[in-house]
Structure 1
Amino acid sequence: MLETRGLYAGYKELHILFDVDFKAERNKITAVVGPNGSGKSTLLKSIFGFTTIYDGQVVLEDRDITKLPPHEKTRLGIAYLPQTDNVFTELTVRENLVIAGYILDESEYQDRLELALSVFPELRDKMDRKAGMLSGGERQFLGIATALIRKAKVLMLDEPTAMLSPKFASQIFERIVNLRDELKLTIVLVEQNVIKALEISDNAFMLISGKVAFSGTARELLEHEKFERFVVGYTL
């Protein structure tokens, strides 16, 4: 569904990723894990078009999209939700959702809105509340809801449970699984809660110092003999 081939990327002169071959299979959850500073977020930003790509390709369904700007990648069905600033905090929930559906006709927008609210019913009674007044978990719900309205096929989530209460974190993980199982979305998950992320994922990639140190099933990584060393910051 989505892959990078020999990707070298970073920020102007700051080189972060080196020869990264990454693949997210259709209708599956792919976890991207690794120590702080390993390039996880940079991988998502590179796929979406927010970094400098020195070499390699970003491919969506066999189409080279490396040089497309972010707004065109959005139209192709890729949604990227950063850890923060993923909603318009000064606008209401309703206004955020309307903006997400600006290219849809009214009938299609209403269908997508109903779908989004069926996945995140907590937003129904908060439609006229400013997004900045929502809890951290509710803000994540809203961010993902806007992606659903935009008819995302690939959902890239960067640390969606960061700074959330255990209750909301658990709900986020449950909804991610539902998005895969019920809406058949392809999901790329960068997550600080490594064990939980791997438990709900199908496949996993681990980055160390900007290079792929592991690729395989999430279960294989969980059961790796050196997994505990990785969790506390060492390499495999």
Structure 2
Amino acid sequence: MNSDPASSSFSDPQAVARYAEGPPRTVPGFASLHRMTTLLLAERVPATGRVLVLGAGGGLELKAFATVHSGWSFDGVDPSSEMLGLAQRTLGPHAPRVRWRQGTIEAAPHGPFDGATCLLTLHFLSRAERRKTLAELHRRLAPGAPLVVAHLSMPSEEEGRSVWFSRYASFAVASGVESAKASTAGAAMRKHLTILSPEEDELALHEAGFSGVSLFYAGFAFRGWVAYA
């Protein structure tokens, strides 16, 4: 999913049509994040494995996974029907390999899955929703299966947080986003998203039952971890 805090835009047809333009301009190393996620999954997901993708709207990570691993099948879950429609179009010939589910984690089958991802999504959830979501992800994974997550994560203190939001905006502007729009997006994130510190993010994974929690990605305001059920 997108890092845009205005989640209502996921039902706006014009915003959905422009979705693919957004993440590469605001998330440092966006394509490499997908490549690394694919490699981390492949360490443990078998050739004919089943992968749960939570926050699958848009289909960008699904396309990255499906293109490299022809034997994998997927369950793609997202609350926005419009974004799921975009994902199906994005996947093209790979779309039949995905079981599409509209909703939150509760809409996902019980598995067990061989791996799961939740990219650029958890910062949309409250602390309580995040705890529940991580626990439900853990419950749906086979023992030892990998979970890969990535989202906004930065220090809790105001001074440190301001520095990272400034860097977020600078990267967006350097990628072609208008300065005013980048500043507005940063302000909206501060107001609407639940952004934990890296320490809190790791603790949340441990509390959900995951082990082997390791940071594998850091791109200015964004961080990503791999953990195992």
TM-score range, shorter chain: 0.3 to 0.5
Pick 1 or 2: higher relative contact order, CA cutoff 8 A, min separation 6. Answer: 1
Higher helix share: 2
Higher strand share: 1
TM-score by length of 1: 0.31
TM-score by length of 2: 0.32
Greater C-alpha Rg: 1
